[in-house]
Amino acid sequence: MRNLFFIIFLLFATLNGLGQDMHFSQYQLIPMATNPSLAGVMKGNHRLSGNLRHQWNSIAGTNAWRHAFFSYDGRKCEGHNYFAWGAHLQSDQMGEPAFFTTTAAATIAYHQRLERGLYLSAGASVGALNYRIDNSGMSFDEQFGATGFDPGLPSLENFERFSRTVPSLSAGLLLFNTKDGWTIGAALHHINQPSYSFLDKDANRLGMGVSLHASATISLSAMSEKNKVTVRGLFRRQSVFANSRQWFLLPGATWSYRLHKGQQGQDQHFSLGLSCRISGHTKGQPVTFDAFIPAAYFEWDDYVLGFSYDVNVSAAKKKSYLRGGWEVSITCPISRKSKCVVCPDL
């Protein structure tokens, strides 16, 4: 019966456009998850990035939400301008019976210098989105007879399929300044509004979503970058149209201290960060304060390891006991030496 309740909830959610893309607290370390024009915004020429997120274990137990994101991007400079490319894979799993989403996409971007230190970037990504339900453990009322549950009985449910793969298209713009250390960007997601339903391919569609993001780095040391603070923010709305009004705002700041200045740029930094998540839902419902998110990062020669924890302070705290979820990110430069532009921190 629990499976039946879950599938009814899931179908109700998809029919009413409540499907929500996954969000990450350390989005600055997996930039292509936010905006395709961020491909190639780095200090080196090639980069591998990864993120693992585990959420709601305190409520869902072994059925907690699990999310993973992996990406590669590279760039090639042509004078003061440069071309960038990349690819990413994202996988999410949640609930019982398990609901899975998997996205694989390729990205291209171009970065044009407008004046000394100022760049305008444009990027696009195209990929495939697969969503499916593990129906092996499902049970329905029609399968219960006089002697109990009989998996051989038909469910009489009219599901067209339990898995669907659809195309998805995203695009974005970015403006950044290498001299003053700031970025500002915007992206559109699911531009083609792909089908999102197990009943009929036109029963529901993902709305075209929008992301707005910005960052700025301020040096606290007059003669060096030994101490610096980066402030950043991300606004994400699931759909710009009426089928889903979900949105969240993720403002925060990171303080970074240089532990060691090495040769050839092999510096070591330790950073502490704090951000929060604020969200809204349908029209007329109150805005909620969801979580505080403390984070710590260690950086060595452009390798970055990050850890954060969502401290849940929403209405769900009565069940979660403040335990939202942990997240780990890693960034690995493949080629650190570059004659290309040195991009600002995200």
CA distances from 215 to 30, 58, 112, 158, 181 (A): 15, 33, 19, 48, 8
Question: Which residues are bridge partners to 125 per DSSP?
Answer: 107, 170
Domain ranges of the chain: 2-335
Mention every residue, 6+ apart, whose C-beta is less than 8 A from residue 85: 39, 40, 73, 74, 75, 106, 107, 108, 109
Nearest to 76 by CA among 36, 30, 44, 122: 44
Q: How far apart are CA 152 and CA 139, in angstroms?
A: 11
**pLDDT at position 243:** 63
pLDDT tens string 195-228 = 887 776 666 788 899 999 999 999 887 656 688 9
Percent helix, strand, coil in the chain, to 5, is: 10, 55, 35
**Structural contact between residues 248 and 279, judged by C-beta atoms closer than 8 angstroms:** yes
What predicted TM-score, i.e. pTM, was given to this entire model? 0.83
**pLDDT at position 14:** 40
Mention every residue, 6+ apart, whose C-beta is less than 8 A from residue 224: 258
**pLDDT at position 59:** 59
Question: Which residues are bridge partners to 109 per DSSP?
Answer: 84, 123
Q: How far apart are CA 54 and CA 224, in angstroms?
A: 38
CATH topology of domain 2-335: Porin (2.40.160)
Q: How far apart are CA 135 and CA 87, in angstroms?
A: 30
Radius of gyration, CA atoms only, the chain: 22
Mention every residue, 6+ apart, whose C-beta is less than 8 A from residue 314: 288, 289, 290, 291
Hunting for tokens 């700025």 — which residue is that? 216
**pLDDT tens for each residue of the chain, 346 residues long:** 444 444 444 444 443 434 567 788 999 999 999 999 999 998 888 999 999 998 766 655 556 678 899 999 999 988 889 999 999 999 988 766 678 889 999 999 999 999 988 999 999 999 999 988 876 666 666 666 667 676 666 665 656 567 888 999 999 999 999 989 999 999 999 999 888 877 766 667 888 999 999 999 998 876 566 889 999 999 999 888 766 678 899 999 999 998 887 766 578 889 999 999 998 876 667 888 888 999 999 998 889 999 999 998 876 666 655 667 889 999 998 876 667 787 888 7
DSSP states of 76-116 as a string? EEETTEEEEEEEEEEEEEETTTTEEEEEEEEEEEEEEEEET
* SS3 of residue 265 by DSSP: helix
Give the CA diameter of the chain: 82
**pLDDT at position 286:** 82
* SS3 of residue 41 by DSSP: coil
Handedness of CA 25, 31, 36, 37 (dihedral sign): positive
